[in-house]
Amino acid sequence: MSTEQGSGVTVVDHPLVQHKLTLLRRRHTATGEFRNLAREISLLMAYEVTRNLPLERVTIETPLETMEAPLLSGKKLCFVSILRAGDGLLQGMLDLVPSARVGHVGLYRDPVTREPVQYYLKLPEDIASRQVIAVDPMLATGHSAAAAVTCIKQAGASQVSFVCLLAAPEGLAVFSAAHPDVPVFTASVDRELDSHAYIRPGLGDAGDRLFGTK
């Protein structure tokens, strides 16, 4: 279940996603529970983002007879985690599509300029022939997500989607301006960014809450 928000943005409003997101937002949700909830939500969102994967018909043998049946067509998917918080969504995606390839983009935000700085990039060599799903829990300013997708495209990928738990309107505007061809899937578009570039009402720092570093 999802709702088109325009400009390539889809809000996944399935009741289970929204219920688990509310539990995730709570201040007193412990690290282990937070991590499990993020994994469960990402699995449910992966179901939505993969809805239109191409299929082909193949011949198989059931215990009773031969039949023509659908299988995914072409190369396996590639999930790209935007470090470090993207790893909190990666495992849920892999639970659903365990054969997918995995890439990583490492970015940090300069505390003064708030611009993304790349420190790590590892992607499958044949990424140009794969459908790529980039994951990061938060689309706040949009600069890091846009920079990560630029890296993925420069490596040759032409079919890219972006998945996050929360997005801010400001971040969506920045991201769509940089990559109007990349659809965004999110569980919620929140109200705004505050003066520290945190999403409001948000859920705090996703990385710190995932890994217990604060």
Catalytic, out of 22, 113, 181, 194: 113
Percentage above 70 pLDDT, the chain: 96
The mean pLDDT of 90-98, rounded to a whole number, is 93
Reported as a single tens digit per residue, the pLDDT across 194-214 is 998 899 999 998 989 999 887
Alpha-carbon distance of 103 to 107, in angstroms, equals: 13
Counted residue by residue, the chain has a size of 214
- Tally of CB atoms within 10 A around 144: 25
Rounded Cα gap, residues 203 and 30, in angstroms: 13
The domain in which residue 187 lies consists of 3-211
Q: Which of 35-44, 70-79, 112-121 has the lowest mean pLDDT?
A: 112-121
Which tokens is 203 given?
A: 């859920």
Clarify whether 190 is annotated catalytic.
Answer: no
Q: How confident is the model at residue 4 (pLDDT cuts 50, 70, 90)?
A: low
Selection from 106, 99, 107 nearest residue 131 by Cα: 99
Q: Which amino acid is at 7?
A: S
Is position 181 annotated in a ligand binding site?
no
One of 13, 31, 109, 150 is an active-site residue; which one?
Answer: 109
pTM over 0.85: yes
On whether the CB atoms of residues 82 and 59 are closer than 8 A, the answer is: no
Read off the CATH number of the domain in which 64 is found: 3.40.50.2020
Q: Is beta strand 159-167 parallel, antiparallel or unpaired with respect to 131-135?
A: parallel
Domains in the chain, number? 1
